[in-house]
């Protein structure tokens, strides 16, 4: 049986990366989808772990070759998810966790790979502003741009399968993990296991 693609998205600064990484650690059997990006690595980031860091020319060539499941420009940087890498992992039966921006999630919904999507929202604007300010990795004008875009992105929650509010990190992690567990137990995904059980029952004929 093929794996499940879980898409986690949120306005910038909502904590989607932290939530997604903790869900992966808690469940222990979710593969992490490593996206490609043209942005420079932040302190502590490692190529091939957080992202595949590439230059603009390489990214453009990959896009022209149809190498991405989704790709988008976000605040001056390009991001993309490898299509062949995604299909290969799912074909092997691996469940895959993809943490991307709202633009990318919209492309995945229109694309060739079925996905379960989760939107993470902040409890309020003030909390989002404080988180972005506390991150300290961007100039004031960049931060203002992200805040202005946050309302537009948050309104996209209607197009997602699930919504989780990250007011308390532990609770948000548990809610997303519960979504993963529930999706894995959907009857259409358990048909093979159920049939194996039924095959062990005595024949009722006669």
Q: Give pLDDT tens digits for 137-151.
A: 667 777 777 788 888
On whether the CB atoms of residues 8 and 81 are closer than 8 A, the answer is no
The continuous run of DSSP H or E covering 57 comes out as helix 56-64
Q: How many helices (H) and strands (E) does the chain have?
A: 8, 9
- Asked whether residue 133 carries a pLDDT value surpassing 80, the answer given is no
Please name which of 115, 21, 108 lies closest in space to residue 68, comparing C-alpha atoms: 108
Question: Sign of torsion, CA 74 76 78 79?
Answer: negative
Question: Sign of torsion, CA 153 186 70 107?
Answer: negative
Collapsed DSSP state (helix, strand, coil) of residue 120: strand
Quote the percentage of the chain above a pLDDT of 70: 97
Please name which of 8, 17, 7, 40 lies closest in space to residue 135, comparing C-alpha atoms: 17
E strand intervals along 61-114: 68-74, 77-82, 96-99
The model's pTM: 0.85
Please name which of 77, 74, 79, 49 lies closest in space to residue 62, comparing C-alpha atoms: 79
Predicted confidence band of residue 12 (pLDDT cuts 50, 70, 90): confident
**Domains of the chain by range and CATH?**
5-198 (3.40.50.300)
Q: Give pLDDT tens digits for 14-44.
A: 999 999 999 999 999 999 999 999 999 988 9
């Amino acid at each position: 049986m093929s794996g499940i693609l879980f898409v986690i998205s949120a306005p910038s600064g909502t904590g989607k990366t932290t939530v997604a990484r903790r869900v992966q650690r808690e469940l222990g059997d979710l593969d992490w989808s490593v996206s490609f990006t043209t942005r420079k690595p932040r302190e502590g980031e490692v190529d091939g772990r957080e992202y595949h860091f590439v230059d603009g020319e390489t990214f453009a060539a990959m896009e022209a070759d149809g190498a991405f499941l989704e790709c988008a420009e976000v605040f001056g940087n390009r991001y993309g998810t490898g299509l062949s890498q995604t299909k290969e992992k799912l074909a092997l039966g691996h469940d895959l966790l993809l943490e991307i921006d709202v633009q990318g999630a919209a492309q995945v919904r229109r694309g060739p790979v079925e996905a379960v999507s989760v939107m993470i929202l902040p409890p309020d604007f003030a909390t989002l502003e404080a988180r972005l300010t506390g991150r300290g990795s961007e100039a004031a004008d960049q931060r203002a741009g992200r805040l202005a875009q946050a309302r537009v992105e948050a309104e996209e929650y209607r197009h997602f399968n699930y919504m989780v509010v990250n007011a308390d990190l532990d609770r948000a992690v548990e809610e997303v993990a519960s979504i993963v567990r529930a999706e894995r137990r959907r009857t259409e995904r358990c048909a093979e296991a159920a049939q194996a059980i039924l095959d062990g029952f005595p024949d009722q004929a006669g």
